[in-house]
């Protein structure tokens, strides 16, 4: 499974959502993010979702200590992150603006 994650890491920019199972905030983050991705024209199939219940080692590897967390890695290697259920649509769309088509 780690090989699959590593292969997906080669694309840029890369968007990763970290969740904790089916927790209410994680469910809301998925729904809110899906709607926002449609707005900016980003294919949700290109989103990497990491469930830290199933892959707890990823929290340490990626320095994620709160969920839900949304991480955007740009082609230049810089990383932006936002946390919470992604319910602030304006903030989320601003965060996703580098992905807009």
Tokens linked to 4:
């699959």
Q: Looking at domain 2-91, does it have CATH number 3.40.50.460?
A: no
Domains in the chain: boundaries? 2-91
Q: How far is CA 92 from the centre of its chain?
A: 11
Mean pLDDT of the chain: 87
Are residues 74 and 13 in contact, defined by beta-carbon separation less than 8 angstroms?
Answer: yes
Are residues 43 and 97 in contact, defined by beta-carbon separation less than 8 angstroms?
Answer: no
pTM (2 decimals)?
0.83
pLDDT digits (tens, 9 = 90+) for 48-87: 999 999 999 999 999 998 999 999 988 788 899 999 999 9
């Amino acid at each position: 499974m780690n090989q699959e994650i590593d292969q997906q890491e080669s694309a840029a920019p890369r968007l990763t959502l970290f969740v904790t199972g089916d927790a209410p905030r994680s469910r809301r983050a998925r729904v809110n993010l899906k709607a926002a991705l449609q707005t900016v024209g980003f294919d949700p199939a290109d989103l990497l979702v990491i469930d830290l219940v199933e892959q707890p080692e990823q929290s340490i590897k990626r320095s994620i200590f709160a969920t839900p967390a949304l991480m955007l890695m740009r082609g230049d290697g810089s990383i932006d992150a936002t946390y919470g259920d992604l319910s602030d649509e304006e903030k989320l769309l601003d965060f996703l603006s580098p992905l807009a088509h």
